[in-house]
Amino acid sequence: MMAPTQALSADRCARSAGLASKSGSSFFQGQQVFCRSAVVKSCGVTRRQSVLVVRSSQNTVIIGLAADSGCGKSTFMRRMTSCFGGSPKPPAGGNPDSNTLISETATVVCLDDYHSLDRFGRKETGLTALDPKAQDFDTMYEQTQAIKDGKSIDKLIYNHVTGLLDPPEKISPPKMYVIEGLHPFHDERVRNLCDVKIYLDISPEVKFAWKVQRDSKERGHSVESIEASIKARKPDFDAYIDPQKKYADIIIQVLPTQLIPDEKEGKVLRVRMIQKEGVKLYDPAYLFDEGSTISWIPCGRKLTCSFPGIKFQYGPDTYFGEEVSVLEMDGQFDKLEELIYVESHLSNTSAKFYGEITQQMLKNSTFPGSKNGTGLFQTMVGLKIREVYEKLMQKEVKPMV
Amino acid sequence: MMAPTQALSADRCARSAGLASKSGSSFFQGQQVFCRSAVVKSCGVTRRQSVLVVRSSQNTVIIGLAADSGCGKSTFMRRMTSCFGGSPKPPAGGNPDSNTLISETATVVCLDDYHSLDRFGRKETGLTALDPKAQDFDTMYEQTQAIKDGKSIDKLIYNHVTGLLDPPEKISPPKMYVIEGLHPFHDERVRNLCDVKIYLDISPEVKFAWKVQRDSKERGHSVESIEASIKARKPDFDAYIDPQKKYADIIIQVLPTQLIPDEKEGKVLRVRMIQKEGVKLYDPAYLFDEGSTISWIPCGRKLTCSFPGIKFQYGPDTYFGEEVSVLEMDGQFDKLEELIYVESHLSNTSAKFYGEITQQMLKNSTFPGSKNGTGLFQTMVGLKIREVYEKLMQKEVKPMV
């Protein structure tokens, strides 16, 4: 964190450099700000003047993503990395059961790799994988800190096939390091290393519908066994996973639709993007008018939608005692191209040009949730992360076309 | 009405004059359109070309305003004429009980002057003043037609004090002629003479609250007698007055608030401006996004409102089988200056500059309803009427500051 004296001198420098006064709050954690004298040529006149230099002291941006299993983390990852270009792949030549994904900019590690108890150890002790006592938070913290400091780490691999901890893989510090899993915000030290904290909050009804879709229709499990497994996980989920959402900067909440009474199949979704206020690195996105409460049914004279249509909502709220702005989408697009009409009424989206959200959604239209709010808000969070990355790294990410 | 051949030749002329093709529908009833050859100098080159000339063949614009007594017609009139400048006064040196008001641009006549039965005649026959059989529609039509044709009329005066028909007053054709009263749209011939038709639709609850306010608190009538009088009028009101609203271009509907449960005192109002679609002379005003359905609570981070706050709604609907756009305001402004914030999100208002609605409302802030939707929508209808007037008369009205 910048010392107050540095902020003051940067402020003075900004003024003497003829810039609009930059208050200390315009600089971010991980930035070095100093003043130097430079020769400046302006309108054909060469002169010496004070110049404000902002340099990133941070080599790696850390993103934390919390969610239960089967809640769309990997789709989120694909949408997010899509905003940076390149597609994430497992480490070349390593353990084929590695959970790590590496793209040009980002390395994504799964926090299951920090299980302190393997499947057999958990069976022995009666602890679930959701229990903090089954995690090694000290190593999780030390290794994440090392990555942030620009050092390579040797991280164990939790093998989801065998249930054992496999020998370590070497992870080099990337530009962006994403820790995803059950407990990214449980340990205060790890939590404080995260530059952006995202929580995917899937309501029990939708989680059940999704698990039935994946485990019953695709993997042949019985609906009863899925129900039993969810029920067994619930106490630890409620005790250890769910409470982390209060620490998140952005929560993507997925609920059953309110447009169709008693719809429980999870086919039509109401998705809410809960954005904490007062985050320094970006402004929350809003619909039409910042800070007021709005509901919007775009279907009408200009946009025809089939049943049950689409309804957006936006407004201020509180979330665990903190001020938030909530953007909500219930329903789904008939044609993804129509998103451009919605995009025209969104502001502070962190898009680099009008139409970028629609373009991203069209590019990734085969991903699950592309026609509903999960796809839209995952994309919008991806763009927010890009903005944070650019600010902290003082580096421009070219928009991916 | 323009003959099709004229429309065609105007269209051809417009094209040969190098203008964007103007379809027949761009011209209005009461306009003469013809083509003439003229010498035109453009970019230093002089040449002869076809020129499209649009000339108003109409001398007087006719506005019809329908409403029951005690429903805010006079406040509406004051707000409307305020958009044209000058304040309406009774005819100088005439019958002191004349119902007519004259300003620089507009003459407002009360249709009670076309009662065929005076108070005693009605008592004798048992007919109410609401009954069409107590009106002289032939004379109403002939005299309104005469005014539209630019001829003076000698119109009787219904004396509200004595209940008798007084000797006629001479009315000269003004630029704008407003007929207000119980039956402006009952007779098809009179209705068709109106260039704009407005209906003030006050719900029974609000009408009762207003009558109690005026007749009980200000005139000392008992609440029971007011209740009895409203009840006695209701059958004829429902049979003869209310059905006229289906003919109106704009209906201002005044209802009890929905923000406070069971509020019946008429202090907080929900007001709706129902605008017919497809009216050629103006476009309906809208909030945020034309043609979609929106609700908006501006109170929040940028605007603090005291209980019960303000809620706007906008959206397409149908009204007696016809397409309409409805703008709604429930609640009231704490400070009238805050209207500027609302105005910034309204479009197609017919205002000549951003802030004109707020300015008009501030200018007339002592009028009843200035802090709620009655004042806002009366002002907005006033500006729509000004737009119609300008188009039909081919004459600009300078904004009143």
d(CA A55, CA B14): 62
Set of chain A residues whose Cβ sits within 8 Å of the Cβ of B293: 296-297, 299-300
Q: Which of A38, A34, A9 is nearest to A21 (CA)?
A: A9
Which of A391-395, B34-38, B57-61 shows the lowest mean pLDDT across its residues? B34-38
Residue B327, by phi and psi: left (phi above 0), alpha (psi -120 to 50) or beta?
A: beta
Kindly report the length of chain B: 401
Mean pLDDT to the nearest integer, A26-54: 59
Q: Is B2 on the interface with A (CB under 8 A)?
A: no
For position B219, what pLDDT does the model report? Answer: 78
pLDDT band at A44 (very low <50, low <70, confident <90, very high): low
Question: pLDDT tens, A385-401?
Answer: 999 999 999 989 988 66
H or E element at residue A361: helix A356-363
Give percent above pLDDT 70 in chain B.
85
Which of A12-16, A147-151, B184-188, B367-371 shows the lowest mean pLDDT across its residues? A12-16
d(CA A394, CA A383): 16
Mean pLDDT to the nearest integer, B230-251: 96
| Burial label, A222 (beta-carbon count in 10 A; 0-12, 13-18, 19+) | exposed
Query: Which tokens in the block code for residue B205?
Result: 């609850």
What is the distance of C-alpha A99 from the center of its chain? 18
For position A214, what pLDDT does the model report? Answer: 81
Query: Which tokens in the block code for residue A177?
Result: 């390091």
- Contact between A35 and A51 under an 8 Å Cβ cutoff? The reply is yes
Mean pLDDT to the nearest integer, B46-61: 69
Question: pLDDT tens, A47-100?
Answer: 666 665 555 667 899 999 999 988 888 899 999 999 998 778 999 888 999 999
What global pTM score does this model have?
A: 0.83
- Contact between A61 and A389 under an 8 Å Cβ cutoff? The reply is yes
For position A118, what pLDDT does the model report? Answer: 96
Q: Return the higher-pLDDT residue of B22 and B209.
A: B209
Give chain B's mean pLDDT: 87
For position B20, what pLDDT does the model report? Answer: 42
DSSP state of A215: I
- Contact between B329 and B344 under an 8 Å Cβ cutoff? The reply is no
- Rounded alpha-carbon distances, angstroms, from residue A142 to A113, A192, B81: 14, 12, 76
Mean pLDDT to the nearest integer, B47-73: 79
- Residue A243 has phi, psi (to 5 degrees) of -65, -15
Cα Rg of chain B (Å, integer):
23
In the three-class reduction of DSSP (H, G, I as helix; E, B as strand; rest coil), residue A276 is classed as: strand
Query: Who among A292, A296, A298 is closest to B299 (CB)?
Result: A292
| Site of tokens 């930059």 | A22
Q: Which of B383, B390, B327 is nearest to B355 (CA)?
A: B383
| Site of tokens 């096939």 | A161
Contacts for B188 with CB less than 8 Å, ≥ 6 apart: none
CA distance B338 to chain A (A): 14
How many other CB atoms are found less than 10 A from the CB of residue B320? 12
For position B263, what pLDDT does the model report? Answer: 79
Q: Return the higher-pLDDT residue of B399 and A295.
A: A295
Q: Is A238 on the interface with B (CB under 8 A)?
A: no
Question: pLDDT tens, A263-289?
Answer: 777 789 999 999 999 998 999 999 999
Give chain A's mean pLDDT: 87
- Contact between B268 and B281 under an 8 Å Cβ cutoff? The reply is no
How many other CB atoms are found less than 10 A from the CB of residue A341? 15
Q: Which residue of chain B comes nearest to A299, CA vs CA? A: B292
In the three-class reduction of DSSP (H, G, I as helix; E, B as strand; rest coil), residue B95 is classed as: coil
d(CA A142, CA B173): 91
d(CA B397, CA A67): 63
Q: Return the higher-pLDDT residue of B263 and B140.
A: B140
Contact map slice: B 142-201 vs A, CB within 8 A: none
CA distance B289 to chain A (A): 8
For position B50, what pLDDT does the model report? Answer: 65
| Site of tokens 């409302």 | B361
Set of chain A residues whose Cβ sits within 8 Å of the Cβ of B292: 296-303
How many CA atoms within 13 Å lie on the side-chain side of A342?
36
Q: Which residue of chain A comes nearest to B323, CA vs CA? A: A301
Set of chain B residues whose Cβ sits within 8 Å of the Cβ of A293: 296-297, 299-300
How many CA atoms within 13 Å lie on the side-chain side of B79?
31
Mutation pick from A287, A289, A311, A343 vs chain B, by most beta carbons of B within 10 Å, is: A289
How many CA atoms within 13 Å lie on the side-chain side of B257?
21
pLDDT band at A299 (very low <50, low <70, confident <90, very high): confident
What is the distance of C-alpha B341 from the center of its chain? 25
For position A3, what pLDDT does the model report? Answer: 38
Contact map slice: A 348-387 vs B, CB within 8 A: none
* DSSP state letters, A191-212: HHH-SEEEEEEE-HHHHHHHHI
Query: Does residue B47 carry a pLDDT above 70?
Result: no
Query: Which tokens in the block code for residue B99?
Result: 């119902």
Which of A204-218, A245-259, B313-327 shows the lowest mean pLDDT across its residues? A204-218
- Contact between A180 and A77 under an 8 Å Cβ cutoff? The reply is yes
Query: Does residue A11 carry a pLDDT above 70?
Result: no
pLDDT band at B26 (very low <50, low <70, confident <90, very high): very low
* DSSP state letters, B131-154: SGGGB-HHHHHHHHHHHHTT--EE
Angle in degrees, CA A262, A325, A190, rounded to 5:
100
d(CA B321, CA A299): 20
* Beta strand A106-110 pairing with A176-181: parallel
For position A215, what pLDDT does the model report? Answer: 81
- Whether this model's ipTM surpasses 0.90 comes out as no
| Distance from the first to the final alpha carbon of chain A | 36
H or E element at residue A12: helix A4-16
For position B71, what pLDDT does the model report? Answer: 85
Set of chain B residues whose Cβ sits within 8 Å of the Cβ of A288: 288-289, 294, 296, 345
Question: pLDDT tens, B83-111?
Answer: 998 778 999 888 999 999 999 899 999 99
Query: Does residue B3 carry a pLDDT above 80?
Result: no
Query: Does residue B65 carry a pLDDT above 80?
Result: yes
Set of chain A residues whose Cβ sits within 8 Å of the Cβ of B301: 290-292, 316
d(CA A115, CA A156): 9
Query: Who among A291, A296, A315 is closest to B292 (CB)?
Result: A296
How many other CB atoms are found less than 10 A from the CB of residue B205? 15
pLDDT band at B267 (very low <50, low <70, confident <90, very high): confident
For position B40, what pLDDT does the model report? Answer: 56
Contact at CB, B289 and A295, closer than 8 angstroms? no
H or E element at residue B78: helix B73-82
Set of chain B residues whose Cβ sits within 8 Å of the Cβ of A302: 289-292
Query: Does residue A365 carry a pLDDT above 90?
Result: yes
Query: Which tokens in the block code for residue A353?
Result: 């040009």
Question: pLDDT tens, A177-227?
Answer: 999 999 999 999 999 999 999 999 999 999 988 888 888 777 788 889 888
For position B7, what pLDDT does the model report? Answer: 41
Q: Return the higher-pLDDT residue of B351 and A300.
A: B351
Mean pLDDT to the nearest integer, B143-164: 96
Question: pLDDT tens, A112-129?
Answer: 999 999 999 999 999 999
Mean pLDDT to the nearest integer, A360-374: 94
d(CA A350, CA A352): 6
Give percent above pLDDT 90 in chain A.
66
For position B121, what pLDDT does the model report? Answer: 96
For position A322, what pLDDT does the model report? Answer: 97
Packing angle, helices A204-211 and A223-236, rounded to 10: 140
| Site of tokens 């451009």 | A340
Contact at CB, B298 and A289, closer than 8 angstroms? yes
Q: What is the 3 state secondary structure string of B57-69?
A: CCCCEEEEEECCC
